[in-house]
Structure 1
Amino acid sequence: MATTLAEFEAKVLLDQTLSTNHKSIIIPIELQEKEDSLPTNRFNKLFKLLIIYCLVLLVYPVYLGYAIYWHNINSINISWCEGLGFLLVVSTLVYTCLCYSFVLSPLVDHISFDIRFPGSMEKVIQSNEVRCAVSSIIILGCIIFLIIDTQDDRYRLVSAGGILLIILFGFAFSANRKKIVWRHVIWGIFLQIIFGILIMRWDSGRDFINCIGSKVDTFLGFTDSGSSFVFGYLVDQKPFLPTKLENGSLAKLVAEEINNSTAVKNIVVFKALSTVYFFSFLTSMLNYWGILQWFVQKIGWLLQTTIGTTACESLSASANIFLGQATTPFIIKPYLGQLTLSEIHAVMTGGFATIAGTVLAAYISLGVSSAHLLSASMMSAPAALAFAKLFYPEKETSRTKSDKISIKPPSEVNVLDAATQGASSAGLLVVNITAIVIAFIAFMSFINSLFEFFGDQVGIHNLTFDSILGKLFIPLSLSMGVEWNDCEKIAKLIGVKVVLNEFIAYRELGLLIQNEELSPRSAVIATYALCGFANPASIGIQLATLNSLAPQRQADFARVVFRAFISGNAACFLTACIAGTLYNEFTYVQL
């Protein structure tokens, strides 16, 4: 028994020794494998960078050079908005941005610009008197410009008066008139005017936005390739297959004529809303590569520098141009819990006052000018900040500084994962749009029938909710500069947009434009006035999104959301007034 116990103890000791030796052997091998893999990973990264640099710095410039040479020897004209000319413009912009980001920006970051003025001069520069003087010069310059510019058409001053009325409305119902910082308001409107002049009055700016609009139309037209493959004649409006019919027969001739005339009505959910899938697919790829974030940061910096709003407000307003109200809050998610009530109000107003790039495509497909929609979305960003700071001024100290704001990298595995997630998420967006449009149009018909029923009982025939809205918003449409003959039509569209949905309003606007029932001036003003998500359904979308990101601020979100809803609509109307002020029928070129 003793021998057996000794053997057992010896065996246990041997197993422990072998186990210890085994571990001592295995661990260094695993570490060694990791260490061996590090040089391999570094080599792979360097190899990928080398390939990218070769393509960007060597192969692509050689291709461009040969393309220019080929066009010259074949005497082909180069237009800056078509073919090689457009490619050269885009390439120049891309290389300029790359040079700034990777060469100039790192150099500038190491240089300290410390400009000091004498104490007395610094006090003078920062004094309220100097700021008031600068603001007064800006206002005086705008007035002189309008007096000179409207010599041929004084009716445009009606739209300028509309700007004053909307600002007066914001001032009268401001949450705290004593705290209003007029720099925010003046600079916001001034930026709108500058954008409007560049786009609507400057030939090169108008040509540029026309070019971008046409490229957007062409690009989104590729959606039909995918949607027609899935939905067939519901998209391409060609229900017949003439190749299956006998040559020369009457049936084949009739089928070809119907196909060529596209006499079959397309279905909105299959034709117009299919663009949302494609656009969301693209924006997700741009977001993964960081291109979208780069543009957002630069525009945010511009708004912060000029208007003087905080970093979160400016970043959110610029992101709304591309992303929309349901996606933009994710960019400033880490800071939502620290925002003041005024900042929350400005973030919400930006969401209400602009439209997302994903649904921009759907509105374009309804027959609305793509160029005007693009410019309206850009002009509404500073308008949102201006009116938000007028309607709900800052009463607290901001805790979000510009140097603390950063955009987190994407969480997707690769660009393919980002693109597929974007297309998949667009499916939910399309379903939501479809459901809201169906429900609201049905509800609108029900409300109209009720008004018509009650009107008939007292001898008022054809009384509808649409007609009441058309009467209520006539003063607003008139103050924006809409021609009197079109006032009731535009007022009805504004009412539909405010009470129901901007998609329905744009659908009606597209029909009015198609049937030539509106003057060009009224159509332009309406396009700008409707360009925003400020409708009751968007209130729920914003509250649901923000509450999920910052549950501890639910009460604050609910406290300011209705004011933000009014501010978002007012910002859209401000943009429409500026468009009406700058519109000149004598020099107008269809955008």
Structure 2
Amino acid sequence: MGILLGLLAIVIVLGIAFLMSNDKKNINLRGIGIMLALQLFTTWFMFNTDIGQAIIGAISAGFNKLIEFGTEGVNFVLGGIAVEEGGGGVFFFNVLLLIIFFATILSVLTYLKILPFIIKYLGQALSYITGLPKIESFNAVNSIFFGQSEALIAIKSQFHQLSDNRLYIVSASAMGSVSASIVGAYLGMLPAQYVLVALPLNMFSALIVASIIAPVKVDKKEDIVEIQDVSNAKSFFEAMGNGALDGGRIALIVATMLIAFIASLELVNWAFAGIFNGFTLQEALGYIIAPLGLLMGIPWAEAIDAGAIMGTKIVTNEFVAMLEFQTMLDQVSEKTVGVVTVFLTSFANFSSIGIIAGTVQGIDSEKGGRVSGFGMKLLIGATLGSVLSATIAGLFL
């Protein structure tokens, strides 16, 4: 029964995307079918084979070792305060400040041309297998490693080639992804195996949904990728310094957004409770999203609470939702943990509309206006992608 509900959820997601499509006749059905097959194979391989489990374990162990190294740096500067204090202090010092170390590693790997090499050839392989244009394929892979703004800046020299549909796809990939620099922070809150599996799943899902909503066909002669080097470092140590500064900026931005969003959510919940006799916004979102959660594989007894978490992520951001879900991990089933974690591991929320539109505006003011124009369509598409990823994960849990 669970598998049938999951398949129904996939059909519904693809059906909604089809109804939203602005060019139904030119949808790349072959590419979409291949990406769906790759999602199913990847999830089965990672969850249901010894080799897949070993790979997840090795990657998780690698991240944990990096977290240990990062914690040494944090403890040296803070002198143990992160351990002695409680509440938000522990989260800021022991989770957010680790972003600095991860951003430093990312910057160094970029300077050494290791990441660009990996991204370039993975993007080429994805384009060859699926038939998607090279710019969209490269951007999708690039979005796994870099944040929304950085991923779009990397292809800024190509923006003159992007039609509205192509612009939609690259924006959807940026919104449906997460930055590798903050994956370590996610691993400090939620189970590693689900966070790590979510990365490729969400890359494919964003492309699948966006390719249905905004199909593209590109002449092979025009399908050339010229990548903008987002790292201006002239030496190894300059790359380290730039990465550390970028990481510190990201950590402070996340902390600032958390303060604003959590406080605002409390205000809205207080107002809701006063108007609707104790009923909060999150409870309302829980009831609205619960039927969808059921189709995704979440048991009905847990669907309302899970729906509230997923709704919180959409109206605030993934960090706020993850912090709330972290307190529920021991109270819900493993399937719910996996499905919700995969859903949360993306940037698909209202605030991302502004981030992406602002980035594109800085690159090309005319195209920035177009992104703002289809901002809500972008959020709906990215959310459908998160639902698709979480549903596929649920089929194998």
- TM-score range, shorter-chain basis? over 0.9
Measure, in 2, the Cα distance between the counterparts of 1:404 and 1:327: 16
What's the offset of the Cα at 1:397? 4.5
Measure, in 2, the Cα distance between the counterparts of 1:362 and 1:213: 13
Contact 1:296/1:318, CA 8 A, preserved across alignment: yes
2:30: which partner in 1? Answer: 183
Superposed, which structure 2 residues align to 1:440-589 within 5 Å?
440-455=261-276, 461-513=277-329, 516-583=330-397
2:124: which partner in 1? Answer: 301
Measure, in 1, the Cα distance between the counterparts of 2:220 and 2:148: 23
Amino acid at match of 2:124: W
What's the offset of the Cα at 1:561? 2.8
Contact 1:320/1:351, CA 8 A, preserved across alignment: yes
Normalization by structure 1: what TM-score?
0.65
What's the offset of the Cα at 1:433? 0.8
What's the offset of the Cα at 1:264? 8.0
2:195: which partner in 1? Answer: 373
Measure, in 2, the Cα distance between the counterparts of 1:398 and 1:432: 41
1:321: which partner in 2? Answer: 144
Q: Does residue 192 of structure 1 match 2:6?
A: no
Contact 2:343/2:389, CA 8 A, preserved across alignment: yes
1:202: which partner in 2? Answer: 49
Contact 2:296/2:339, CA 8 A, preserved across alignment: yes
Inter-CA distance 345–400: structure 2 relative to 1 (3 Å threshold): farther
Give per-residue Cα distances to partners, 1:526-576, cap 9 Å, x unaligned.
111111101111111111111112224222222333222211111111111
What's the offset of the Cα at 1:184? 2.8
2:113: which partner in 1? Answer: 290
Measure, in 1, the Cα distance between the counterparts of 2:166 and 2:292: 28
Contact 2:206/2:382, CA 8 A, preserved across alignment: yes
What's the offset of the Cα at 1:510? 1.4
Inter-CA distance 399–337: structure 2 relative to 1 (3 Å threshold): farther
- Count of paired positions: 397
Inter-CA distance 217–468: structure 2 relative to 1 (3 Å threshold): same
Measure, in 1, the Cα distance between the counterparts of 2:285 and 2:264: 15
What's the offset of the Cα at 1:506? 0.9
Superposed, which structure 2 residues align to 1:210-221 within 5 Å?
210-221=57-68
Inter-CA distance 174–557: structure 2 relative to 1 (3 Å threshold): same
Contact 1:471/1:491, CA 8 A, preserved across alignment: yes
Superposed, which structure 2 residues align to 1:311-460 within 5 Å?
311-366=134-189, 368-394=190-216, 397=218, 401-406=222-227, 408=229, 410-455=231-276
Give per-residue Cα distances to partners, 1:133-190, cap 9 Å, x unaligned.
xxxxxxxxxxxxxxxxxxxxx4233222211111111112222323322123212211
Contact 2:154/2:230, CA 8 A, preserved across alignment: no
Contact 1:353/1:381, CA 8 A, preserved across alignment: yes
Inter-CA distance 433–399: structure 2 relative to 1 (3 Å threshold): farther
Q: Does residue 170 of structure 1 match 2:17?
A: yes
Contact 1:338/1:399, CA 8 A, preserved across alignment: no
What's the offset of the Cα at 1:233? 3.2
Measure, in 1, the Cα distance between the counterparts of 2:357 and 2:77: 35
Give per-residue Cα distances to partners, 1:301-335, cap 9 Å, x unaligned.
12211221111100000011111212111221110
Measure, in 2, the Cα distance between the counterparts of 1:361 and 1:543: 26
2:3: which partner in 1? Answer: 156
Normalization by structure 2: what TM-score?
0.95
Amino acid at match of 2:317: N
Give per-residue Cα distances to partners, 1:418-468, cap 9 Å, x unaligned.
11011112222112111111111111011111111112xxxxx32111110
Amino acid at match of 2:321: A
Measure, in 2, the Cα distance between the counterparts of 1:338 and 1:487: 44
Measure, in 2, the Cα distance between the counterparts of 1:181 and 1:164: 17
What's the offset of the Cα at 1:238? 4.1
Measure, in 2, the Cα distance between the counterparts of 1:164 and 1:341: 26
1:225: which partner in 2? Answer: 72
What's the offset of the Cα at 1:232? 2.8
Aligned-residue identity in percent: 24
2:91: which partner in 1? Answer: 268
Secondary structure of 2:232's partner? coil
Superposed, which structure 2 residues align to 1:85-164 within 5 Å?
154-164=1-11
Inter-CA distance 476–398: structure 2 relative to 1 (3 Å threshold): farther
Amino acid at match of 2:293: S
Comparing 492-501 with 212-221, which one deviates more in the overlay? 212-221
Contact 1:337/1:553, CA 8 A, preserved across alignment: no
Amino acid at match of 1:216: F
Inter-CA distance 344–494: structure 2 relative to 1 (3 Å threshold): same
Secondary structure of 1:453's partner? helix
Measure, in 2, the Cα distance between the counterparts of 1:400 and 1:441: 49
Amino acid at match of 1:226: G
Higher Cα Rg, which structure: 1
Inter-CA distance 533–409: structure 2 relative to 1 (3 Å threshold): closer
Secondary structure of 1:327's partner? helix
Inter-CA distance 481–223: structure 2 relative to 1 (3 Å threshold): same
Contact 1:311/1:405, CA 8 A, preserved across alignment: no
Amino acid at match of 1:269: F
Measure, in 2, the Cα distance between the counterparts of 1:179 and 1:407: 30
Ranked by relative contact order (alpha carbons within 8 Å, sequence separation 6 or more), the top structure is 2
RMSD over aligned CA atoms reads: 1.9
Measure, in 1, the Cα distance between the counterparts of 2:352 and 2:220: 28
Give per-residue Cα distances to partners, 1:394-438, cap 9 Å, x unaligned.
3x6568844443454843110100110111122221121111111
Contact 1:372/1:527, CA 8 A, preserved across alignment: yes
Amino acid at match of 1:419: M
Amino acid at match of 1:168: G
Contact 1:535/1:565, CA 8 A, preserved across alignment: yes
Measure, in 2, the Cα distance between the counterparts of 1:336 and 1:414: 29
Contact 2:299/2:336, CA 8 A, preserved across alignment: yes
Amino acid at match of 2:196: L
Secondary structure of 2:145's partner? coil
